């Protein structure tokens, strides 16, 4: 599906081309005599406003990579910078959406989103208005008085996304957010995230096991394998501007690389 040029321009103007930078990043976990090498002196650069999707075999370190960008974990050596600043701790400007949104069951949907603003010194009225805007954006305006158990898995994940967005982040880190959802819901959620990405000009890093999902929504695909990370440009700056044949070819290329790279 082609999209309007104005939307593409919105994403591509004034971008910082070295927004997320890995400089010789190594990461290993040691347990007893075993060393689990996740990354070996890897360097990469991601543009501001990019939609990067991380793929790779199970256990290669996709979540670890995301955790290091989120500031939950640190490289063993090397450094990771965002807009030129070394990441030393988590920041509300880098929001995370997990596979399971872990909502408070005793709070309403509004309550679950509102409490993410607890630390912000804003008038209650302003906070409620912000919640209403975000609920509208994720399509849950009619469910704000419901409780999590009254919502489907896809709707609960919409709450997870709303809770991340309410922090007004610059970067959205998403760890297999749609893997538990059925095909149709997953496609709807992909559309939702693409619209949010366009509207807010966010930089997104998204982990998935689905190469099809990766090629459909990304501007960049990061292939993680055997301690190295390869960045493949998706050659357009809007995930919906892909031609179906190009998508199939890219999917094949990535599958081949994952199977055969050493």
Task: Determine which residue in the list 47, 52, 64, 219 makes contact with ligand ATP, applying CB under 6 A.
Answer: 64
Coil, helix or strand at residue 23 = strand
Contact segment (CB under 6 A) with ligand ATP among 17-25, 62-70, 157-165, 189-197 equals 62-70
Which residues make beta-bridge pairs with 106?
none
In angstroms, the CA 251 to CA 262 distance is 19
Query: Applying CB under 6 A, does 256 fall inside the site for ligand ATP?
Result: no
CA distance 38 to 235: 28
CB of 65 to ligand ATP, least distance (A): 7
Q: How far is the CB of 51 from ligand ATP (least distance, A)?
A: 19
Residue 128 neighbours by CB under 8 Å, 6+ apart: 114
End-to-end CA distance of the chain: 35
Q: Which residues contact 17 (CB under 8 A, 6 or more apart)?
A: 45, 47, 48
**18/21 Cα distance (integer angstroms):** 6
Q: Rounded to whole angstroms, how far apart are CA atoms 92 and 165?
A: 10
Dihedral sign for Cα 155, 180, 169, 17, please: negative
Smaller CB separation from ligand ATP, 37 or 108: 37
CB of 142 to ligand ATP, least distance (A): 34
Q: How far is the CB of 243 from ligand ATP (least distance, A)?
A: 29
Distance separating alpha carbons of residues 217 and 235, to the nearest angstrom: 12
Shortest distance, position 64 Cβ to ligand ATP, whole Å? 3
- Nearest residue (CB) to ligand ATP, 224 versus 250: 224
Spell out, one character per residue from 42 to 61, where the chain touches ligand ATP: x when CB under 6 A holds, - when not.
--------------x-xxxx
Least separation in angstroms between CB 27 and ligand ATP: 9
Q: At what angle do helices 5-12 and 183-200 cross, to 10 degrees?
A: 60
Instruction: Determine if 95 is a binding residue for ligand ATP (CB under 6 A).
Output: no
Question: Does 62 contact ligand ATP by CB under 6 A?
Answer: yes
Q: Which of residues 18-37 bind ligand ATP (CB under 6 A)?
A: 29, 36
Residue 63 interacts with ligand ATP (CB under 6 A)?
A: yes
Of residues 67 and 95, the one with the C-beta less far from ligand ATP: 67
Nearest CB to ligand ATP, comparing residues 60 and 156 = 60
Give the length of the chain: 262
Residues forming contacts to ligand ATP in the complex (CB under 6 A) are: 29, 36, 38, 56, 58-64
């Amino acid at each position: 599906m082609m999209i309007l040029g104005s939307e593409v321009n919105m994403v591509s103007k004034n971008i910082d081309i070295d927004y997320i930078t890995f400089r010789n990043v190594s990461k290993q976990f040691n347990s007893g005599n075993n060393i689990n090498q996740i990354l070996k002196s890897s360097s990469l650069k991601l543009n501001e406003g990019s939609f990067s999707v991380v793929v790779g075999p199970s256990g290669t370190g996709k979540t670890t990579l995301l955790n290091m960008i989120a500031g939950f974990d640190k490289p063993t050596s090397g450094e990771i910078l965002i807009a030129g600043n070394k990441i030393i701790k988590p920041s509300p400007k880098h929001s995370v959406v997990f596979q399971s949104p872990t909502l408070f069951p005793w709070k309403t949907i509004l309550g679950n989103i509102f409490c993410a603003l607890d630390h912000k010194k804003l008038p209650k009225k302003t906070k409620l208005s912000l919640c209403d805007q975000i609920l509208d954006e994720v399509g849950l305006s009619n469910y704000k008085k419901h409780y999590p158990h009254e919502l489907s898995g896809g709707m609960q994940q919409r709450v997870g996304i709303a809770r991340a967005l309410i922090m007004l982040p610059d970067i959205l880190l998403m760890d297999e957010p749609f893997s538990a959802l059925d095909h149709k819901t997953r496609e709807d959620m992909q559309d939702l995230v693409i619209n949010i990405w366009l509207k807010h000009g966010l930089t997104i890093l998204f982990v998935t096991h689905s190469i099809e999902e990766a090629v459909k929504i990304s501007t960049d695909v990061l292939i993680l394998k055997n301690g190295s990370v390869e960045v493949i440009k998706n050659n357009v700056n809007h995930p919906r501007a892909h031609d179906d044949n190009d998508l199939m070819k890219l999917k094949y290329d990535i599958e081949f690389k994952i199977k055969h790279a050493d």
